Amino acid sequence: EDQVTQSPEALRLQEGESSSLNCSYTVSGLRGLFWYRQDPGKGPEFLFTLYSAGEEKEKERLKATLTKKESFLHITAPKPEDSATYLCAVRSYGNNRLAFGKGNQVVVIP
């Protein structure tokens, strides 16, 4: 069974204070790891897909990295608009579904 654990559950940052979110996973064979952003009252919004260890993707202040056991979402010099819950999900070979972690709730204080 695919498993995803995200830490920390909640994080408060000062504006400009960089930090990282962790997503540890266990799968029988990784087909893809996905990061989403979710704002209150909205559905998850797709950010990145990572397929193999060593891969990195960037978008504005966000950078996602992948190893064989975990992924990190680095937030560089965050702004208040980066406040959201960030969700990590994995898909394994032979599996149509995504298994999600419980999320990292990030609050950026001006």
Partner 1 sequence: NAGVTQTPKFQVLKTGQSMTLQCAQDMNHNSMYWYRQDPGMGLRLIYYSASEGTTDKGEVPNGYNVSRLNKREFSLRLESAAPSQTSVYFCAGGTGEYSPLHFGNGTRLTVT
**Chain contacts with partner 1 (rule: CB under 8 A):** 31-32, 34, 36, 41-46, 49, 51, 87, 89, 91, 96-103
Q: Considering the complex, what minimum distance in angstroms separates the CB of residue 14 from partner 1?
A: 26
Amino acid at 27: V
* Residue 31 or 79 with smaller CB distance to partner 1: 31
Please list, in sequence order, all residues whose beta carbon lies within 8 angstroms of the beta carbon of residue 34, skipping any fewer than 6 positions away. 46, 47, 48, 49, 50, 88, 89, 90, 91, 98
Q: Give how far Cα 30 sits from Cα of 43, 48, 61, 76, Å.
A: 24, 15, 26, 27
* Residue 79 or 90 with smaller CB distance to partner 1: 90
Q: Considering the complex, what minimum distance in angstroms separates the CB of residue 16 from partner 1?
A: 30
* Residue 34 or 65 with smaller CB distance to partner 1: 34
